[in-house]
Structure 1
Amino acid sequence: MQGARIISVGSAVPDLRINNRDISQIVETSDEWIVTRTGIKERRVLTGANKSVVDLAYHAAMKALHNIRMDPLEIDLIILATSSPNDLFGSASKVQAKIGAKKAVAFDLTAACSGFVLAIVTAAQFVQNGSYKNILIIGADVLSKWIDWSDRKTCILFGDGAGAAIIQACSEEDNAILGFQLNTDGKQSDELSITYKENPYSLNTFQLFQGQFQYISMNGKEVYKFAVSKVPASITKCLNALDLSTKDVNWLLLHQANKRILKAVADRLSIDTCKIISNLSKYGNTSAASIPLALDEALQNNKITKEDIIVISGFGAGLTWGTVVIKWKC
């Protein structure tokens, strides 16, 4: 077995900002109401003809490559974590072509807000077993395209964005992906979903069914209860397996869903809130992009230093949740 470590990070967001006052012109709400309940002040939304998740993923990937002056031809594998591809067959191949990584295998990974955590874990397996040397993972979503802007429960929450990281093989002694813990509960999948509605129609003697995907639907109370109970348990289990305690944690990086969830998880783990990495107020819930977006910003602000222990946890639709513990080596 060889080691794996993150050697570069990059991110990208659309130019258009929609603040809470803008939202209050669409639905009955206010800046105070949204900030108090979610911590979100504004979000970014992708606009423009033929603009898609591929564009944001491309810019985030190129920033990660540029930071270490890596040629795209050195990338062996691309994993695009997204729930909003611009093609139902997947968008990773389009990213591969756009960045010029023609030697890389590319595929989509769909796990909603847990997607980037699963991408880290998946990439680490390929690296640690010797299959690939350089893997580009991207978390990117444009959920604004799947929002009912008349639904106050969801339109205040979501934004668009992308974040990328390059995971590279290293010696076993320098391994930085220390451990992980993953879970799924499909029985609760209806609590947060984009459902497919079928419509029957007749074709000669056959009855066929075709339809289309609906808007985002969410039971906020149930998702909150799920997150504040399952995420601390996942983190504790992962730390225990590594013989670490919460006192060893330098940074807590959670999926950026709601400030109350972030605080509740930290409180249950007795982790000081000053250790929470968050940029939720500026971007809202960007699904698979939220963790790498926040990680990139923290690095740019020099918050994270070499040898820091970072607990990363994602949670969301599926319902899925998971934790990965990394040691920062750069």
Structure 2
Amino acid sequence: MTRGTVLKYARIIGTGSALPDKVVTNADLEKIVETTDEWIRTRTGISERHYAADGETTGDLAFLAAQRALEAAGVKASEIDLIIIGTTTPDLIFPSTACLVQHRLGANGCAAFDVNAACSGFVYALGIANAFVRSGQSKKALVIGAETLTRMVDWTERETCVLFGDGAGAVVLEASDEPGIFTTRMRADGGFKHLLFNPVGVSVGFTNAPNHGVKINMLGREVFKVAVKTLDSLVGETLADAGMKEDEIDWLIPHQANLRIIEATAKRLNMSMDRVIVTVDKHANTSSGSVPLALDYAVRSGKVKRGQNLLLEAFGGGFTWASALLRY
């Protein structure tokens, strides 16, 4: 790249999403764990969530979301030269779920890999794809966030089992001279690992913990405190990096984990909740699937329109946190 070359933008030209057919309400959960609809709604804002069916995988949901995003973009799978999936619940240890989805789409030959940044996975993946497009290494990229988190839920822990759902969302990025992604920010601090983690892994072993270790360990109050603090700082960093002010943001599209965290971020931006996309009530926390699911809902519902500025942000286990400020 020669000195003075102006980098192209990575612009979203299509969105898509996929949710399992099975809907589980708070009333349904009352029958299997000691909880109430009121307890769940007042603390999280969640009313219902979707659960993957037996045999339905993260890759299945990612594939459907990708198909819908490609259709919306008017792009053939063979035109895609990069696929990145943000997920913490891949189909297999290897190959990556991105490789599996690539083959099903018929996009064989392009770069394809997964990113595990927990709930920040999609925004991390979007940031990576943005760098590929702006550097000229990619012209059309498919970025997906997909999860089947309910596969690791411990049904004896009411504080966590009510929080999660399954789903996937996707976007197609294209190199463009028109404004697209202005800036992305990615941060992490492994010092907070003990507050939110799953103890299972290849190196540490699969069966050396109760319930085979397939469970989410979370200290909710502590996670809440750190999430609000770090997202507050992240918002400021993102705006400063893009040279924009709070009132220039048309929509906040946050990670859908907890309504109170979402409200705290909106308050930091001096934004009315009328300008915040909220899907946590219907989807619960779908981890890396939550931001692209919310984005696709916002686009297809007609709320988000071309030319508007969107702030995407997420926070997840690691801890990780990330943002993207873009023009749709």
1:180-199 alignment runs, 5 A limit: 180-196=184-200
- SS of aligned partner of 1:196: coil
Deviations 1:240-265 (A, max 9, x none): 12221111111011100000110111
Question: What is the alpha-carbon distance in structure 1 between the residues aligned to residue 256 and residue 223 of structure 2?
Answer: 13
Question: What is the alpha-carbon distance in structure 1 between the residues aligned to residue 184 and residue 235 of structure 2?
Answer: 9
Question: What is the alpha-carbon distance in structure 2 between the residues aligned to residue 317 and residue 103 of structure 1?
Answer: 32
Who is 1:32 aligned against? Answer: 38
Would you identify which runs of 4 or more consecutive aligned residues in structure 1 move more than 2 Å?
196-200, 208-214
Task: Kindly indicate whether residue 139 of structure 2 is the aligned counterpart of residue 133 of structure 1.
Answer: yes
When residues 87 and 233 of structure 1 are mapped into structure 2, their CA distance, relative to the original with a 3 A threshold, is same
8 Å contact from structure 2 (residues 73, 172) kept in 1: no
Question: What is the alpha-carbon distance in structure 1 between the residues aligned to residue 189 and residue 201 of structure 2?
Answer: 22
Who is 2:109 aligned against? Answer: 103
Question: What is the alpha-carbon distance in structure 2 between the residues aligned to residue 275 and residue 147 of structure 1?
Answer: 32
Task: Kindly indicate whether residue 263 of structure 2 is the aligned counterpart of residue 258 of structure 1.
Answer: no
8 Å contact from structure 1 (residues 111, 320) kept in 2: yes
| Superposition CA RMSD, Å | 1.7
Deviations 1:205-250 (A, max 9, x none): xxx9975643111110011001111101101111012221111111
Who is 1:236 aligned against? Answer: 236
Deviations 1:112-148 (A, max 9, x none): 1101111111001000000011110100000000111
Q: 1:30 offset after TM fit, Å?
A: 0.7
Greater CA deviation, 18-27 or 210-219?
210-219
1:182 maps to a residue whose letter is: M
1:1-330 alignment runs, 5 A limit: 1-48=7-54, 50-89=55-94, 90-171=96-177, 174-196=178-200, 211=208, 213-328=213-328
Which of the two has greater strand per residue? 1
8 Å contact from structure 2 (residues 165, 283) kept in 1: yes
Q: Gaps (5+ residues) in structure 2?
A: 1-6
Question: What is the alpha-carbon distance in structure 1 between the residues aligned to residue 326 and residue 57 of structure 2?
Answer: 31
Deviations 1:20-43 (A, max 9, x none): 011111111111111111100000
Who is 2:4 aligned against? Answer: none
Q: 1:189 offset after TM fit, Å?
A: 1.1
Question: What is the alpha-carbon distance in structure 1 between the residues aligned to residue 72 and residue 290 of structure 2?
Answer: 20
Q: 1:69 offset after TM fit, Å?
A: 2.8
Question: What is the alpha-carbon distance in structure 2 between the residues aligned to residue 292 and residue 239 of structure 1?
Answer: 21
8 Å contact from structure 1 (residues 73, 103) kept in 2: no
8 Å contact from structure 2 (residues 61, 146) kept in 1: yes
State which structure, 1 or 2, has the greater radius of gyration over its C-alpha atoms: 1
Question: What is the alpha-carbon distance in structure 2 between the residues aligned to residue 193 and residue 248 of structure 1?
Answer: 36
8 Å contact from structure 2 (residues 8, 133) kept in 1: yes
Q: State percent identity of aligned pairs.
A: 40
Who is 1:205 aligned against? Answer: none
8 Å contact from structure 1 (residues 75, 103) kept in 2: no
Greater CA deviation, 209-218 or 58-67?
209-218
Question: What is the alpha-carbon distance in structure 2 between the residues aligned to residue 71 and residue 290 of structure 1?
Answer: 25
- SS of aligned partner of 2:12: strand
Deviations 1:167-190 (A, max 9, x none): 11112xx13110122211110011
Question: What is the alpha-carbon distance in structure 1 between the residues aligned to residue 80 and residue 185 of structure 2?
Answer: 27
Q: 1:64 offset after TM fit, Å?
A: 0.7
Question: What is the alpha-carbon distance in structure 2 between the residues aligned to residue 317 and residue 264 of structure 1?
Answer: 19
8 Å contact from structure 2 (residues 207, 213) kept in 1: no
2:190 maps to a residue whose letter is: G
Deviations 1:265-321 (A, max 9, x none): 111232222111111111100000000101101111111122211111010101000
Q: Gaps (5+ residues) in structure 1?
A: 201-207
Who is 2:3 aligned against? Answer: none
Question: What is the alpha-carbon distance in structure 2 between the residues aligned to residue 300 and residue 128 of structure 1?
Answer: 27
Question: What is the alpha-carbon distance in structure 2 between the residues aligned to residue 152 and residue 213 of structure 1?
Answer: 17
- SS of aligned partner of 1:139: strand
When residues 198 and 320 of structure 1 are mapped into structure 2, their CA distance, relative to the original with a 3 A threshold, is closer
